[in-house]
Structures are given as C-alpha cells and as structure tokens.
Amino acid sequence: MKYLEEFQNPDLARRLLDDIRASVTRPWALMEVCGGQTHTIIRHGIDQLLPEGIELIHGPGCPVCVTPLEVIDKALEIASRPEVIFCSFGDMLRVPGTDRDLFRVRGEGGDVRVVYSPLDALRVAEQNPDKQVVFFGIGFETTAPPNAMTVYQAKKRGIGNFSLLVSHVRVPPAIEAIMQSPECRVQGFLAAGHVCSVMGTAEYPELAERFKVPIVVTGFEPLDILEGIRRTVRQLERGEHTVDNAYPRAVRDEGNPAAQAMLADVFETTDRAWRGIGTIPQSGWRLSSRYREFDAEHRFDVGGVNTCEPAACRAGEVLQGLLKPHQCEAFGTECTPRNPLGATMVSSEGACAAYYLYRRLGAPAAPAAPLEASPVA
C-alpha cells in the first residue's frame, strides 16, 4: 500500500536521526498530542534512538483516556436500562467506571453492542423502533464530524429513538491548558495530523506566538514522527515558534470545510471535563439547541452521578505528561490490560497500554543500539 512501506524506510530514518543529532546543541522537551503517535514512538523505539537530551512527553492524545469518569458512569447507567440498546466502539467496553465497565453491564443482561460507525447505530435504531438506541460519541475533532452527520441524519429522517451520549473534546484548548500549568516543561508540540485534516491549522498560530512554542503538524508513521521532531528541534535551535505543516499529503491549512460546516450546525462549544486533568474551558462540544432532543443526557436525565477514581491509578499525571507510565507504582502489577485501573491501560491509544504492549516495563532503557539494529526497520 502506498505511504506504508515508504514511511517506514530504515535508511531514511537514519538520515533523519543524523540530521536531528547534527542540529541539537541543548536539551529540548517535546510533546506529541496524539495517542496514535505515542504508540508509533514506543513501538519503533523512536524515543530511544533520539540524541540524549531530546525528551518526548506523552500528552492527553487518547480520546478514550480523557473521557471523564462521570460520563463513563452515565453510559453505564443508561446501558443498564431494559429499554436501551447501547452502541459503542469496542475500545470503550473495557474502560473502567467507578465500579464496573460496559462488558460487565452486557454480562448482567444489558444490550450493549459494538459498532464500527455511528451510522451503524442509526441503522439499529431504524430496525428496533420499540427500543431507545444510544451511541457513545467520544473523541477529538477527528470523530466528531461523522457523529454530527449521524445526528443530522436522525433529525432529517425522523428517527426519534436515536440519541447521542456526547463526550467530544478539542485539542487547541488542551494545548493552552498544558502551557498554562505551572509544572509544564513542554517546549514544542507535535500536532495530530488527523485532527488538522479536519480543522486545518488556523487555531494554532495564536498559541504558538503566545506561548513561544513551535507547533509542527505531524503524521503517524515512523518517518512522519522523525520529520516532525526534526522540524521542531530546528525551530527551537533557531529561536523560532511558528506552525509548520509536516503532513501535507493529508492536511491543508483550511482543513475540511464541509466537515467544519457540519460541526458548526450540529454542535456548539462548551466547557468539558477531561479525565485526570479537570475542566478545560471551551474544550468540548455538545449538541446545539437545534438538536438537543437527540442528547442522551437530557433524554435519560442521568445527572447527579457520584464517581470515585481508584486511589492507586496515576493516569491523570500520565495524561498531563508529568509521569511516564512505568513510573506508576501500579503499572504492570495492580494495573494490566486484563485488569485495568484506568483508561490509559486499556485504550488502543493509551500511553500505559503502549508501554505494556511493547514491554517498557521498568526503568528507562540503556542508550540505543547502533542504527543498523534500529527498531524502526
């Protein structure tokens, strides 16, 4: 497949690493704001191949991981109702709530179904007019447009037994919150290419200028990551702080106007809680007043949920980039993918899951082997 092998070429990886080494004169701390990028970095050992002093900080880039516990518990309460068919992507089923997860609800008799598209859930609603069908709509700007389109179609086609449990979040306010934290060490960002393919780059120049940090839009293959790091380090060494699109094969500055128009019609921005982080102003979406009838929280009146995070789970610090997963005392012992304490261990984009899957179980590894043995290959 085009753009698969080409962007995993070990010879090109070595050349990019040589260029990064030649550019670096001092330590720099960069943050990737995408769980897919985190998994690429850990899987291919990119962080271990970089020159000493270049640190990659894993940010809150996993949409499953930042879905707040309160919303998870609301999902569990709705899914337990006998009149409800609850539809979700598969990675949400093992995310722990206060005392159970969606797998447990299904085992107890709840009608919980895995779907591959929100339109699949709308089809379930058409086929089951005597049931209330709820789709769990989570994610960043990437998954918001298809969820918005599904609600738009439900209204247009008069499918009144469909609703959306919304927990959508936005990346730029999260970057702002990270930079305003007194514990922030981030000096540059690798921005998520799939988010920018939808929203474009217009929201980032103001952040780059205000916080004096370069923001480089980056893809997801090993060479994409290395090129993003190379461009970010080059800006930092020159004292520059601009937005740079290193993923032009997928991202245009204007993004996807049709998707943006759909978002503007169906959603409106709102303050949103992020699991382990807290509430970030204007960092999420909710259904606009024109589509409020399709809001599952309003339809099922699930307010007043009492939540309790496991005391041993330090996923919040991982999501903020304050802690590497293996530095958590529960990592790999009390907390494993089979028995997770937090969403960062169970999600396919979670940092803890990446460290566990690719055997980063202890202290940081020794310096990287010569490039001839590079795991990028």
At 35, which amino acid appears? G
The pLDDT, as a whole number, for residue 339 is: 87
Count other Cβ atoms within 10 Å, centred on residue 252: 13
First-to-last C-alpha distance (Å) of the chain = 17
Counting residues of the chain whose pLDDT is more than 90, the rounded percentage is 79
The residue count for the chain = 377
pLDDT for 286 beyond 70: yes
C-alpha 274/C-alpha 181 separation (Å) is 15
Give the tokens for residue 231: 């461009």
The pLDDT, as a whole number, for residue 372 is: 36
Quick one: average pLDDT of 41-49? 94
* Band (377; pLDDT cuts 50, 70, 90): very low
- The beta-strand segments (E) located in 246-366 are 267-274, 278-287
* Band (371; pLDDT cuts 50, 70, 90): very low
Specify the range with the lowest mean pLDDT, choosing from 221-230, 282-291, 339-348: 339-348
* Band (142; pLDDT cuts 50, 70, 90): very high
The pLDDT, as a whole number, for residue 36 is: 93
The pLDDT, as a whole number, for residue 275 is: 86
Counting residues of the chain whose pLDDT is more than 70, the rounded percentage is 94
**Number of H-type helices and E-type strands within the chain:** 17, 11
The pLDDT, as a whole number, for residue 5 is: 72
Strand partners, 84: 132
* Band (244; pLDDT cuts 50, 70, 90): very high
Quick one: average pLDDT of 69-80? 95
What pLDDT digit, counting tens, does each position of 151-189 carry? 999 999 999 999 999 999 999 999 999 999 999 999 999
pLDDT for 61 beyond 80: yes
Which burial class, exposed, middle or buried, applies to 357 when counting CB atoms under 10 A from its CB (0-12, 13-18, 19+)?
A: middle
Stretch (H or E) spanning 29: strand 28-32
C-alpha 112/C-alpha 102 separation (Å) is 7
Which burial class, exposed, middle or buried, applies to 224 when counting CB atoms under 10 A from its CB (0-12, 13-18, 19+)?
A: buried
pLDDT for 284 beyond 90: yes
C-alpha 336/C-alpha 60 separation (Å) is 20
What pLDDT digit, counting tens, does each position of 97-128 carry? 998 999 999 999 999 999 999 999 999 999 99
What pLDDT digit, counting tens, does each position of 200-218 carry? 999 999 999 999 999 999 9
Widest distance between CA atoms in the chain: 66
What pLDDT digit, counting tens, does each position of 2-32 carry? 666 777 788 899 999 999 999 999 999 999 9
